[in-house]
Amino acid sequence: MPKVFLHNFEHELQEKFVTAGGPGGQNVNKVASAVQLRWNVRASNAFDDEQKWMIRRALANRINDEGELVLFIQTHRSQVRNREEARERLVELLEKALVKPKRRVATKPSKGQKLRRLEGKAHRSEIKRNRKVDHD
């Protein structure tokens, strides 16, 4: 898996902190602990055109019409921890997106495999034929 280093494009990230729902008591209403992380894939200078294409293809359902990858994290009560998790998750997504799929090599069944398959079919056919009852 290719390594993605956040420091290569950290300056391109936009973070917005908003109040989160869930547990946290009164703290939830006062502190903006959830993080919305935005990164514009199209405008990024950290990756070449082929890598950007791979990212857009793999993460198409997470990229909006402006070409931004948007992550919304509110799993922790702490703003710092949510921010860390958003960045970690972004790196994980990019590393998975940049894996080149293995090229499939087309193979043919061997003569022996074809023969065994046909023999099996003939055997099954014989079994079924023997089940028939003659009504003569």
| Domain-embedded: residue 111 | no
| Domain-embedded: residue 124 | no
Residue 40's domain is classified under what CATH number?
Answer: 3.30.160.20
| Domain-embedded: residue 125 | no
Domain limits for position 42: 6-97
Contact 78, 33 (CB under 8 A): yes
| Domain-embedded: residue 118 | no
| Domain-embedded: residue 29 | yes
For 77, the token pair is 């009560």
pLDDT interval class at 125 (50, 70, 90): very high
* pLDDT, tens digit, 9 for 90 and up, residues 39-92: 999 888 888 899 999 999 999 999 999 989 999 988 888 889 999 999 999 999
* pLDDT, tens digit, 9 for 90 and up, residues 29-39: 677 888 999 99
With residues binned 3-state (H G I as helix, E B as strand, rest as coil), the percentages for the chain, rounded to 5, are 45, 15, 40
